[in-house]
Structure 1
């Protein structure tokens, strides 16, 4: 079963503008990559986790959904037709085929494994071969939130200490935060998706504590209370709203944001930037290792 958070997709309409915004936040952002099915991305790496800034750049290349074949590109296209934001969360996998079989057995996915390869660029400019296998899962109560696992076939060519050095001191993912009017409606799916049976439930929502980061589902009022940002739940169900990131020193983050004219607020010991292309980024100190 999956071992922790691997990456989150931040779907945007203008990829380079979004990358510039992340750079103004003090992140190191990778070069543009192209997928053969019409999406392009740029990567922000943390320790064992990355943010995938993604856009639909060649819509004519998008393959439609078919029975037994979930289309990653079509999902992102449809998501962007109505909004920008955090569209999909992927967990790390050591065996995507086994995870696909598990998802089929518990009734949350029947699309098998989607494998692909592309070239990546190392910090020194050299080209490296990359390969990935994905297995998708679906929560029928959250049609605008995507879920999958990701198996890296050449992790030594993907992860880079140089790309993980950020001017803002960002180090680790703490949690992906979803909002829903009724978080407990998603309890069973969350357990099936993560393979965790010991979920944490409280008055403010439900969460899965993976070996690398949590998945938390809270009510909109709880999101506002914790992070000081008003967000609305989707009529269709749960959606991704925020990403919590551990940093070495909040003062460093604040200095970078002020230098670049980025507005942020302090809330309950956190530094919060709302509505970054539909996402809330939440910086927290003291959880780096």
Structure 2
């Protein structure tokens, strides 16, 4: 989930990057239950597996109408929450509660957007004060309406979302990785690139703030004092074609080996890493 304080600005930024977005899908938790501009826009990608969808959600909260929890989460532009699929929501809520996490449960209804489905989702969100990096789990019994191939065709050749990157103050990296591992039930793997969790279609990678500052300094990234979800890796069909498209649209990007970096100023608060999909 990516926060866009102004949904129109967020939409313009991601369309400039070559993504196709659904219309704004208003919903009550974000303050759009009465028709106000609280809701989400989706970037549907084809990188799911085993029934798990693969997409980005650009979300906007109406401050005086959104649920208090969503106002806490949607507080700054850019990545704010990792959304996981779970078939058994109750099992996760029990596990989190045993680890001292306050859990918020609710349902959200979404309208259809043309050929893209809507439906109801059962959602459990870990309280922001209980976890180092914000996440939730969601379940919907019928996700078939989200697989229409037309929504997965993007001007930039995007194929899949493959990695989410969290940035953690250097001295806290080991503790945050251990806590996050216990919460999501995935063992971390240490490497020179940080701490990695194999979470299915999308890897979770945690890196030290000093590494982020060194690698992303030239694209305008600035670390915060607390752990943050900062970056996304998207795979594209052809990296050279993608880079030419960005140049033609005036998007500032930086080639680093087999990756093209786009900074927060051009991606509505996100660090975006683009690479070619491995066959």
Structure-1 residue corresponding to 2:140: 152
Counterpart-to-counterpart distance in 2, 1:141 and 1:110:
9
TM-score normalised by the chain length of structure 1? 0.82
Whether 2:156 is the aligned partner of 1:178: answer no
1:93 to 65, 73, 86: 86
Shift of the 207–99 alpha-carbon distance from structure 1 to 2, 3 Å rule, reads: same
For residues 179-223 of structure 1, the C-alpha deviation after alignment (integer angstroms, 9 at most, x for no partner) is 111321212222123211x31123553221122111111112222
Whether 2:28 is the aligned partner of 1:60: answer no
Structure-1 residue corresponding to 2:72: 75
Structure-1 residue corresponding to 2:180: 190
Counterpart-to-counterpart distance in 2, 1:281 and 1:169:
15
Is the partner of 1:251 in helix, strand or coil? helix
TM-score normalised by the chain length of structure 2? 0.85
For residues 128-157 of structure 1, the C-alpha deviation after alignment (integer angstroms, 9 at most, x for no partner) is 4411111122575866x4210121232012
The number of residues matched between the two structures is 261
Is the partner of 1:167 in helix, strand or coil? coil
Structure-1 residue corresponding to 2:35: none
Extract unaligned runs of 5+ from structure 2: 32-37, 47-52
Shift of the 156–95 alpha-carbon distance from structure 1 to 2, 3 Å rule, reads: same
2:9 to 17, 20, 40: 17
Is the partner of 1:53 in helix, strand or coil? strand
Whether 2:97 is the aligned partner of 1:104: answer yes
Counterpart-to-counterpart distance in 2, 1:62 and 1:159:
29
Counterpart-to-counterpart distance in 1, 2:253 and 2:274:
10
Is the partner of 1:262 in helix, strand or coil? coil
Extract unaligned runs of 5+ from structure 1: 1-8, 65-70
2:245 to 256, 271, 279: 256
1:213 to 202, 211, 216: 202
Whether 2:264 is the aligned partner of 1:278: answer no
- Aligned-CA RMSD value: 2.2
